[in-house]
Copies of this chain bind each other. A is one copy, B any other.
Amino acid sequence: MSEQTTVPVKLGDRSYDILIGSGLIDRAGQEIAARTGARRVAIVSDENVAALHLQHLTDSLKAGGIESTPILVTPGEKSKGFATLETVTNAILSARLERGDIVIAFGGGVIGDLAGFAASIARRGMGFVQIPTSLLAQVDSSVGGKTGINTAHGKNLVGAFYQPQLVLADTDVLDTLSPREFRAGYAEVAKYGLIDRPDFFAWLEKNWQGIFDGGPERIQAIAVSCQSKADVVARDERETGDRALLNLGHTFGHALETATHYDSARLVHGEGVAIGMVLAHQFSVKMNLASDDDAKRVEAHLRHVGLPVSIGDIPGELPPADKLMDYIAQDKKVARGALTFILTRGIGQSFIARDVPPSAVLSFLQEKHPK
């Protein structure tokens, strides 16, 4: 199988292509050489991904006439911090790359965010290519140019808007991803349907198994997801308006991630988003915006693919509802004083709701998480 499709991201002089398909790593060297002219790159990756796929990428680059220096970090969210940023940035400088040379992010969203940020600050901006290896990274984090790290004050609070010159999403590498990580990424795929593509959501309800199994549906689902995100980003690169729609499910989701101390044994990001999207629909029903049928349909589909769909699905103790409410208020998406939420009028009809009464959110959370 060697289907391939291209999604262009239109951002003026920062425009670039996302190539999506089977066997793309084999062609990485040739594509990067042809499209960027680079002859030297640094490959930032994590130890999991490197053990499985680094040799393959290095060989492909070599075949394209590109010399590469690997820079490996420990897998996991903890690598998205100042300490690893400094290490990676220094390693890029040690590799004696010049401004036109390229930093490749080869891994999941952690690597994309970290390596992209390092690429943006090393020599005030190196060339940058994303080769995302998790489903979440292929459909979400590698598209749109947000890069960054976490601090004690919260997730992704430090970073840069920095667009890659090319994204290569090889759908075969997803075969080595754990089923749980695959499902977590799938939550973000479903999100695009729920934001503004009701037909895509209906298609997913029918075709999700092919996506998980690596059928041609996988490439198609990733392409629609990238196109959806690219459309939003082209309208609002720096998140001053519409781009906030991409946070559907994320306000609740982030509060749950905070409540579980980002312990991935209990909850990974996409799982928090799955629960958050169900909550966003249920809360919209409570606000008389959406029908209960739609909320049930969302819950049923996400549960069907194996995702958690309620606060009770999270293993272990959770703080009480008023504490979750505090986390929501602290979330960076909350503008001073007022609560901004992504709510919905039904499947594929999400919108940005400003001035949501905090008291309504609290009483909803108390209902959903009584204790």
User: Is A94 a contact of B124 with CB atoms below 8 Å?
Assistant: no
User: Is A124 a contact of B93 with CB atoms below 8 Å?
Assistant: no
User: Is A121 a contact of B159 with CB atoms below 8 Å?
Assistant: yes
Least CB distance from A238 to B in Å reads 8
Q: A121-B158, A159-B121 are in contact. Are A153 and B93 (CB under 8 A)?
A: yes
Dominant secondary structure at the A interface? mixed
Q: A82-B82, A160-B124 are in contact. Are A153 and B336 (CB under 8 A)?
A: no
Interface string of A123-166 (1 = CB under 8 A from B): 11100000000000000000000101001111001111100000
Interface string of A92-115 (1 = CB under 8 A from B): 011000100000000000000000
Cβ-based interface call for A90 (8 A): yes
User: Is A82 a contact of B93 with CB atoms below 8 Å?
Assistant: no
Cβ-based interface call for A247 (8 A): no
Complex alpha-carbon distance, A154 and B153, angstroms: 30
Chain B residue contacts of A120, Cβ below 8 A: 160
Residues of A within 8 A of B (CB): 82, 86, 89-90, 93-94, 98, 117, 120-125, 146, 148, 151-154, 157-161, 238, 332, 335-336
A to B CB contacts below 8 Å, 30 in the list? A82-B86, A89-B151, A89-B158, A90-B151, A90-B152, A90-B153, A93-B151, A93-B153, A93-B154, A93-B158, A98-B335, A98-B336, A117-B121, A120-B160, A121-B121, A121-B148, A121-B159, A121-B160, A122-B157, A123-B158, A123-B332, A124-B146, A124-B158, A124-B159, A124-B160, A124-B161, A124-B238, A125-B160, A125-B238, A160-B160
